[in-house]
Each structure stands twice: as structure tokens, then as C-alpha cells.
Amino acid sequence: MHDLWRLVSQFKGRIFLALLFLVLAKVAVVSVPLSLKRIVDELSRPEQIAALPVVLLVGYALLRFASTLFNELRDLAFSRVTQHTVAAYAQNTFAHLHALGSRYHAQRRIGGLLPDIDRGTSGIAFLLGVGLFTLVPTLLEIGMVGAIISARYSYWYTALLAVTFLIYCGFTLFFTARRTIHQRRVNRLDSSAKSLLADSLINYDNVKYFTNEKLESSRFGGIMDHWIEAAVANQKALFLLHVGQSAIIALGVASVMLLAGQGVLTQQMTVGDLILINAYVIQICLPLNALGFVYREAKDALVNAEKLFQLLREKPEIDDPPGRPALHATHGEVTFENVNFGYEATRPILHNVNFRVPAGGTVAVVGGSGSGKSTLARLLLRFYDVGSGRVLIDGQDIRSVSAKSLREAIGVVPQDTLLFNDTIAYNIGYGRNGATMEQIIAAAKAAHVHHFIDSLPQKYETPVGERGVKLSGGEKQRIAIARAILKNPPILIFDEATSALDTQSERAIQAELDQLAHNRTTLVIAHRLSTVVGAHEILVMERGRIVERGTHSQLLAHGGIYARLWQLQERTEATAQPDGTVQLMK
């Protein structure tokens, strides 16, 4: 709430103006029954007047218009405050999500996260707009009407209104608290349904592979069945709340009007007084009903905003305070010193890893799945911090420099290139913010993808589809290479950059990777040993430890794990057909 007030307080002038219009609107509303009473009393004695009370009639009309005008001016003055605050929360949430670490994003479910954010921002908009400008004016109106009735009429009227108000508030608080339980359940099931929907659509191909459309529909239907029951229970609770509130108001109005009617019969009050009290009772009861609505909806808004506030309280795993010095990557030498690491404390991944990638040199890391080789890339990019030891670039511990400057110095060509659902030009240009079209085309030419792009009807403005689904694996890899060329970093990471490609595509792209790595410090994470033959040093990892190291020829001569892997892959490639397919060995 402190952050909410900090955002709102930037508009103190608009808030003051909106509150001024609010007070003027309520003064006009409260004055309408007084004007109406005066008109009725004047017209009830026609023998005492020579003409219609034109001034009173015009004044009555102007008061009604003024109440509407001031309410609209209030909303207009406060509109920028509400919209700015909602937009700021949305933007802060977006930035916060990108600030959170890889561990958080590995656990979150995007389908459930998006509706939580949407409901949260909508809840904040309600609390600021309808909530504030219904709660405050309602209390103000009730107070003003109560004061007028107390000053002009018997205290019994005030007592009846006060009892009605207290019973109404108690009933509303109790039943709204009960209904909140149902609202939370509805929200939880709604998020679960959207998570399943997003996950199923992301895995569209898998659903088709295994013809599990009915299974997916059944899973989604199961959640929706529970959602229906929760929504109906929520509506039942809302029904009891509404009927109870209306009954309390009806009893209060009936009590006050019976008392006023008795006063007219005994000639203690005029017909104008009866109309005045009736107008004020309605004027109190309608806002009272609105107050119940606002309280109920405000509780719903707070429930909806809970997940958003919880998300904003989530602390980034990587400590990167502002003002931290930038990395000075003058040569680009990378060093891992006695590095130990585990994604979980009970499951260590790396054990005492030591190696150095000299400036402009290439070090390749090979090993089986789960050996920890890809973890080295994540630590170098500082997606995670080491458990112990250090990772250095040109002698600087990467924990002592800003994460932004660190990642600006490193280019990555990953195994699975995911592209934005935008144009080819946008995805290549993402490597350097503000790159010109000439620079984008030059990078595409260097990655040998320009000819393919130029053959497309829309050329560089061709949409690639969600996650780049409109392009082949080799085409996406070349765009990733062009993006890295455009970034022009001193340090490169190839994280199994060709393992998802067929042999023919791999050989074509490997030459481009070799050209990109020329005179750059390069860490290659590889599955296929044929891609690392020319590395200055090859590290063989097994169960998080470096068990062999040396050049390709040295490791073959050693006759260890690397030599056995090389022989195995040679036998596999020897069975490959000319078209790049593989003949299975019998």
C-alpha cells in the first residue's frame, strides 16, 4: 500500500481538485430535497402566493444538474491518476518479472500468471476509482443528511437511521467475509484452467502426436466443472448478501416513513417535511446500498490483487543493486576457480570445477546429459550464483559487476532458438537496440541467411510466428547467429547450438559458427564431438566433474572417455546416408 500511495501522491493537485468536486456534488445532492420541500410547501398554500415560485423551480433544476456536473468533473480530474497508477503497476510488474531469476521462471506457470496480473491491475483500478469515490462521498452524504435530520426533526428519525446503518454494516461485514472464501476458490480454479489451456496449446504438437485431444479436453473440463460449482456457490453467497441488505434497508425505510406519516396526521409536520424525509431516507439508503456494493467489490478487488502484491514481493534471486560498477571486458578471458554449485542444496551439480578460456581462445565442454556442462553457461551469464568459488572475466568476479554489463559482453547461440512473434528484422535487430536496417542486413549476410530472407515475399518484414514456428530449425539458428553477429560481443557461448539440426544443416551452420568465434573468447557446450575438433582445449565432464582435458588429438591418444565417445559417434556417422539420414545398425 505504501507503493500505491507513492504513485498516487504524485498527483496531489488533481486529488485535491477531485475531492473539491466531490464535496460540491454532495452539497448539491443534499440541497435538492431542501429545495423540493420549499417548493411543495409554497405550492401547498396557493392562496398566499401570487405567482409560481420560478426561482425555486429553476434552482431545483440547477441543483440536480450541478450534482451530475460536479460528479463528472470529479471523474475527469481523477481519471489520469487512476490510469497512470494502473499503467505504472502493470509496467512495474512487467519489469519485476524480468528481474526475477531463472529459478522462479522455471517454476512459474505462464497461463496462471497472466490472469493473476490482469485481475490484480483491475482490482487496483477499482480501489482507486469506484472504491474511493463511492466510499468517501457515501460517508459524507450520510453524515450531512444525518446532521440535517437531527437538527430539524425528532431524534427518533436519527435513531432509526443509525440502527439501520449499524445492522446493515454488521450484516455486510459478516456475509462478505464468508463470500470471500468462495471468491478465492473461483480465482484459484480460473488460474488453474488458464494454466492448463496455455500449457496444452504450447504443447499442441505433442497432443497431436499422441492423439490426446479428448484427454486434454477432459482435463480442462474437469477443472471447469469444479469452477462451475465454485462460481454457483459464490453466486448463492452473493444472493444471500443482496437479499439481506435489501431487507434491512426496506425495514429501515418503512420504520422512518411510518413515523413521518404519523407526524403529518398529527399536524406536527407538513407534507413538504414528509417529502423531505422520504427523499433523505432514500438518499441515505441508496448510498448505503452502494456502500455495501463497494465494500463487497473492494474485498473482491483486494482478493484479486493479492497475487499481484505477492508477485511484487518476490525477491530476485540474484543480488544486483543499482550503482554496481560495469564489467570492463578488455580481453575477454574467462576463468572458473574452484566452482561448486547445485540448483538445490541437497543435489550438487558441479564439484570443484577449474578451467580458463584464454582471450580469443575456444574451450569446448563435452559430456553426457546431466553432466553439468550447460550449467557452466548459466553461471557465466549469472542466471545463478555459484555456491562457492569464483567466475572471473578479465580478473573481475562477475558477482561484483552489474548483471547488465556482464550480459552485454556475452553473446549466446542456444540449442533451441525461440524467436519473438514479430518480423525477421525485429528478431535479428534484437541483438543490438537501435540497429539500422543496413546493419541488420549486414549481419544476415554474415550469417548466410540474407539470400533466404530476400527470397521471401515480405523479405525482412516476414512474421516468424509464435516462437518462430514458421521457420525451420536451420533458419532459426542462422537468425540466432545473425543476432549474435549484430551484438558483436567479446565473449561467445554456443550452448549445443547445432545439436537439434540434421548432419547436413549442422555442417553448413558450423562454418558460420567458426567464423563468428574467430578472435572471440568462446565457450562451446557440445553434444556432437565433430563440432569441437578445432577447440584449443576440450573438457570432458562427468557427474559435475572435469575428468579429462586436452586437445582433440591428445584426448584420442589418451584413450579415455572422450576417445570412446568419438569412436561411438564415428560408427554412428559412418552409417549415415548421403541425404543425411541414418541407417540403424543391426
| The pLDDT value given to residue 289 | 65
Residue 14 has φ and ψ, to the nearest 5°, of -65, -40
Q: Which of 325, 316, 521 is nearest to 409 (CA)?
A: 521
Q: Check if the beta carbon of residue 513 is closer than 8 Å to that of residue 544.
A: no
Q: Which of 133, 66, 63 is nearest to 279 (CA)?
A: 63
Q: How many CB atoms lie within 10 A of CB 347?
A: 7
| The pLDDT value given to residue 340 | 92
pTM for the complete prediction? Answer: 0.64
SS3 482: helix
Q: Check if the beta carbon of residue 466 is closer than 8 Å to that of residue 502.
A: no
d(CA 474, CA 532): 19
Residue 77 has φ and ψ, to the nearest 5°, of -65, -35
Strands 537-542, 545-550: parallel, antiparallel or unpaired by DSSP? antiparallel
Q: How many CB atoms lie within 10 A of CB 315?
A: 10
Per the document, the length of the chain is 586
CA torsion angle for 134, 140, 142, 147 (degrees, to 10)?
-170
Residue 264 CB contacts under 8 Å (≥ 6 apart), including other chains? 270, 271, 273, 274
For the record, the C-alpha cell of 32 comes out as 435538492
| The pLDDT value given to residue 354 | 92
Spans of the chain, pLDDT less than 70: 1-10, 41-54, 101-112, 129-136, 205, 209-210, 283, 285-293, 296, 304, 499-506, 508, 572-586
| The pLDDT value given to residue 355 | 92
Q: Check if the beta carbon of residue 86 is closer than 8 Å to that of residue 124.
A: yes
342: left (phi over 0), alpha (psi -120 to 50) or beta: beta
| The pLDDT value given to residue 582 | 44
Tens digits of per-residue pLDDT, 217-247? 888 888 888 888 888 888 888 888 878 888 8
Q: Check if the beta carbon of residue 354 is closer than 8 Å to that of residue 526.
A: no
SS3 56: helix
Q: Check if the beta carbon of residue 120 is closer than 8 Å to that of residue 50.
A: no
Residue 314 CB contacts under 8 Å (≥ 6 apart), including other chains? 96, 100, 104
Q: Which helix (H) or strand (E) holds 337?
A: strand 334-341
Q: Which of 365, 383, 413, 385 is nearest to 509 (CA)?
A: 413
| The pLDDT value given to residue 73 | 85
Q: What are the chain's domains? A: 2-313 (1.20.1560.10), 328-409+491-575 (3.40.50.300), 417-488 (3.40.50.300)
Please list the residues that pair with 363 across neighbouring strands.
523, 537
Q: Check if the beta carbon of residue 415 is closer than 8 Å to that of residue 495.
A: yes
